[in-house]
Structure 1
């Protein structure tokens, strides 16, 4: 499936029904998801199990599954998780457990996931909270910390200007930023503190290698 076709299919998915400002629940744009996953496919990262941390309504997890990766989506918000399941069914990804091209959903805190960390072999994808809300500062750090523990490679979306932070964090955890690209996050008015009908936020996507897959078996 080509990137344009993937973006078109992802654009048909439903967003948050009742988004939470405290959790910074904003939809991941289909084009951003498709571009991120296109890089992951070229790098061979979709040949390994994919874990979507803070899956929201499932766009990254569903995109990975549509490209053939065995995928698990972790999401704590019950409403968002219900929408993710509906989206997966709409995309034809609700077959029996173990089927190729299926997403398995787990309701869990993405910063404290119930997954094994002894032999990382998965690819993590995540569009975490940026930490823009008061009391939520540094939220993306917690997601990166989990990615370092459970994956060999991660793809994460961050606020523009985060490269120095991501590179320093990765280096402290024995990782390396191998790819970075800019992305736009168009945000429609959805919370009372929004003053514009639509605003585009500049963001960056980073690919980090946390371990050598050959060593992780």
Structure 2
């Protein structure tokens, strides 16, 4: 695991900056460092970082950077928002500056502009990591389904973060697509006030994380 414990990884990921002007349509939120560390730590233990890792809708780059820190040999982050990709690049550079992990190995991620639903990948055996839109906004229901559909196309294994109450949907989708949910756990997802419809300065959601093995 590149010499980083889960706790050390979470502390390192605290250097990742949030969106300065997040898009409500894209439901842009910062993936919590502790959650990113938990997810990628599990992926490492499962041997899933030995494949190419693709972060669908990378946003701030949190999951892509975490996967690279934990030891993934090749990581790709894709996002439709060019400003998000610029932020992700800056975050990767900032993380590299604050850790001596790079003394033995460089933090490398390929950043690609593109729509997850019309992706450019020909690979079919990747590991996908993703914090897709929860689909909580009107007109954006089930936005996470499109990310699962792409994961099914490009991955042997995927790790995706969803809104609370998504287990039945995710398990049903996986079963319909010859997939198997092997791990599921809840995780705290703190959100600071950023949009007009937010009424509290800070709210903590209960997110759900799923590891799915896809039958090629």
Q: Give me the TM-score of the superposition, normalised by structure 1.
A: 0.91
Please state if 1:35 is matched with 2:38. Answer: yes
CA distance in structure 2 between the aligned counterparts of 1:100 and 1:206, rounded to whole angstroms: 29
- Map 1:7-86 → 2, pairs under 5 A: 7-69=10-72, 70-86=74-90
Q: Which residue of 2 aligns with 1:211?
A: 215
- Map 1:152-163 → 2, pairs under 5 A: 152-163=156-167
In the alignment, which of 164, 185, 208 is matched to residue 189 of structure 2?
185
Q: Which residue of 2 aligns with 1:106?
A: 112
Please report how far the alpha carbon of residue 100 of structure 1 lies from its aligned counterpart in structure 2 after TM superposition.
6.0
SS of alignment partner, residue 116 of structure 2: coil
> Where has structure 1 moved over 3 Å in runs of 4 or more?
none
Please report how far the alpha carbon of residue 15 of structure 1 lies from its aligned counterpart in structure 2 after TM superposition.
0.9
CA distance in structure 2 between the aligned counterparts of 1:204 and 1:171, rounded to whole angstroms: 18
Q: Give me the TM-score of the superposition, normalised by structure 2.
A: 0.92
Q: Once superposed, what is the RMSD of the aligned Cα atoms?
A: 1.3
Deviations 1:159-185 (A, max 9, x none): 111111101100111100000010111
CA distance in structure 1 between the aligned counterparts of 2:121 and 2:96, rounded to whole angstroms: 26
Deviations 1:93-147 (A, max 9, x none): 9xxxxx8641000011112110005xx2210000000111111011000000000
SS of alignment partner, residue 131 of structure 1: coil
CA distance in structure 1 between the aligned counterparts of 2:69 and 2:119, rounded to whole angstroms: 24
Paired residues, number: 205
- Structure 1 unaligned blocks of 5 or more: 94-98, 213-217
- Structure 2 unaligned blocks of 5 or more: 98-104
In the alignment, which of 161, 166, 171 is matched to residue 170 of structure 2?
166
SS of alignment partner, residue 206 of structure 1: strand
Q: Which residue of 2 aligns with 1:215?
A: none
CA distance in structure 1 between the aligned counterparts of 2:35 and 2:175, rounded to whole angstroms: 26
